[in-house]
Amino acid sequence: MADLKSQVTFTREKDGLRIDIIDKANFSMFGSGNAAMDPRARALINEVAKSLAGMPNKMAVKGHTDSSPFPEGSERTNWSLSIERAEATRRMLEQAGMSSGRFARVEGVADTAPFAPNNPADPRNRRISITVLYNDPPPS
C-alpha cells in the first residue's frame, strides 16, 4: 500500500479539504476510456473511506480525465467518462461503509481542471478528487 499512498495529495480549499487520488504512469485507477476501477484503486478508496468514516462532514466527489479524445462518432465523451468515474468512486465509498447521506455532490469535470496543465495527456490528469466539505457555521 505504501506505493499507492504517494498517489494521494491533500489541498485546502475554500469549500473544504480536497483529497486528490492521482493516476500515475505505472498505475491507473481506471482502464483507459472506462470507469472500471482497478483492484489497487479499490484498496486505496477503502483506505480513504476508513480515514473519513468518523467525520460528520459532507463529501463532494469529482471525476477528472486527461484530454485524450474518444474516437470520431463515439457517443462517449470525457464529460460522460468523468461522471462515470465519480459515480464509481461514490459507490465504492458507500460499499466501504460511508452513508449515502454524506454526499453533497458527485460531478464530472472532464479535462477542464488538469493536474498537469502543461501536459493535457499526462496520466496524472486522470484522477478522482474527494472534498471533505467544511461544516456550515452554526446559526447566529
Domain regions of the chain by residue span: 2-133
pTM, entire model: 0.85
> CB burial class (10 A; 0-12, 13-18, 19+) of residue 77?
middle
- β-pair type (127-133, 103-108): unpaired
Give CA–CA dist 86/32, Å, rounded.
Answer: 15
CATH architecture classification, 2-133: 2-Layer Sandwich (3.30)
Of 23, 2, 4, the C-alpha closest to 129 is 23
Give the bridge partners for 120, in sequence order: none
**Structure confidence by residue, pLDDT tens digits, 85-132:** 999 999 999 999 899 999 999 999 999 999 889 998 888 888 899 999
